[in-house]
Amino acid sequence: MITDLPRDMEEEVLSKLPMTSLRRVRFTCKRWNNTLTKDGSFTKKYKGEAAKRKEFQVVMILDYKVYLMSVNLLNPSIERIGKLISLDAAHDGVDMLKIFHCDGLLLCVTKDRTRLVVWNPFIWTNTKTKYSRRSHKVLRFVDGYDRSSMRLVLEFEIFSLNSNSWKVVDVNPDWHIPYFYRGLSLKGNSYWFAEEKLSLQETRGRLFLLCFNFTTESFGPLLPLPFHCRYGDKVNLSSVGEEQLAVLLQKSGVPAHTLKIWISSKVDPRGVSWSKLFLAVDMNPFTDFQFANFDGSFFVDEKKKIVVVIDRNRATRNMAYIIGENGYFKTVDLGGLANGDCWPFVCAYVPSSVKI
């Protein structure tokens, strides 16, 4: 093995490897494993080389298992790079129900809903490294009706990974977050769809965007969306890179099943502005069903002006729907069936050298 290569040359060579090869190579050399592939400058270079190779990496949950996937939009294919497993024998093979991505870290909820697991797929090792000085936190909340006690339950708590403790957050909201809307993290904050609270005579409020600021540990004001929707319309939220949000709206009325995507031009806890409509497609010629709020997750490729929606078909098979302009429509069978309450779900993935 060559051990006297200049550091910049080592970075140049290793940054050109796909992630599956990079993992194998790291364990052949202690220096590469402990230093090179966990350095911030290398991570930045690796991201740049991955973009040149047109690699699109996402994290997906299928049948209670979490996978890192490679996406090719030129000759549509979605392939599994690897299954995410724990090096801790106590957690190896644990089924996961939900995943959330934040700054290269994955927050996973176990199938039995009793545990939270935080992983970094890019590092994925038990070796000793410098830990991140950032204060990572998890927001847990319950906003719904408890049938057993016949009362509304509204609870908010924050878990700090630094102190390994929970604390209650005092919130008296004028909004409601429906259970079937998934949140996401962007630039260290979390976002959801939220409905304004209604009078007893009303059944459904106007939909807004809502942000939780982890620095101030508080919710911001209700933020406007680029559309008005009604009961039966499907809406979903995604991220674009590390700076933007994307929203999906699929109408239930006429024109039939119209799918529209907007991308934010600015977003922070107290304000959002939206660019012009990114994509609008009438889905009626391609599918005879709507995507769902609780699945129907998606990601976009801005340059190619394509959206990829992960959902299931009528036979409940896990599917990817690749949709673009001028009638471009492709499907990729992801294998297996949507299982119980674990529908297929995708989120963006950006490699990070952060160690928890």
Both tokens assigned to 293: 């709020």
Asked if residue 226 belongs to a domain, the reply is yes
Beta bridge partners of 176: 195
**Do 315 and 198 belong to one domain?**
yes
**Block mean pLDDT (10 aa), the chain, length 356:** 68 68 66 62 66 71 88 83 64 78 86 85 48 73 77 87 90 85 89 81 75 93 90 87 90 74 93 92 81 76 90 85 91 83 83 66
How many structural domains are present in the chain? Answer: 2
Residue 36 has phi, psi (to 5 degrees) of -60, -50
Question: What are 129-183's pLDDT values in tens digits?
Answer: 344 456 789 999 887 777 777 777 788 999 998 888 999 999 888 888 887 788 8
Beta bridge partners of 145: 152
Angle between helices 40-52 and 7-14 (to 10 degrees): 40
What is the Cα 277 distance to its own chain's centre?
A: 22
What's the rounded Cα separation, in Å, for the pair 112 and 223?
Answer: 34
Both tokens assigned to 286: 């391609």
What's the rounded Cα separation, in Å, for the pair 209 and 225?
Answer: 6
Determine the length of the chain.
356
**Do 114 and 260 belong to one domain?**
yes
Beta bridge partners of 321: 309, 331
* Residue 226 identity (one-letter amino acid): P
In 149-243, beta strands by DSSP E = 151-160, 165-168, 175-176, 184-186, 189-196, 207-213, 218-219, 234-240
**Do 169 and 279 belong to one domain?**
yes
| DSSP H or E segment with residue 60 | strand 56-62
CA distances, 331 to each of 224, 251, 286, 312, 315 (Å) = 33, 21, 10, 11, 14
SS3 of 119-151: the string is: ECCCCCCCCCCCCCCCCCEEEEEEEEEECCCCE
Asked if residue 72 belongs to a domain, the reply is no
**Do 24 and 88 belong to one domain?**
no
Question: What are 11-27's pLDDT values in tens digits?
Answer: 777 776 665 566 666 66
Per-residue pLDDT at 202: 55
pTM value is 0.79
**Do 30 and 97 belong to one domain?**
no
Per-residue pLDDT at 339: 73
Per-residue pLDDT at 10: 75
* Residue position matching structure tokens 């009638």: 327
CA distances, 294 to each of 113, 193, 224, 348 (Å) = 17, 12, 21, 17
CATH number at residue 288: 2.120.10
**Do 143 and 241 belong to one domain?**
yes
Per-residue pLDDT at 244: 93
In 284-356, beta strands by DSSP E = 297-301, 306-312, 317-323, 329-337, 345-348
**Do 197 and 241 belong to one domain?**
yes
**Do 115 and 216 belong to one domain?**
yes
| Secondary structure (3-state) at 317 | strand
Count the Cβ atoms, other than its own, within 10 Å of residue 182: 20
Per-residue pLDDT at 126: 36
What's the rounded Cα separation, in Å, for the pair 232 and 43?
Answer: 43
* Residue 188 identity (one-letter amino acid): G
Both tokens assigned to 94: 């644990």
* Residue 291 identity (one-letter amino acid): F
**Do 109 and 170 belong to one domain?**
yes
Asked if residue 355 belongs to a domain, the reply is no
Per-residue pLDDT at 162: 85
Range of the domain at 228: 77-348
Asked if residue 41 belongs to a domain, the reply is yes
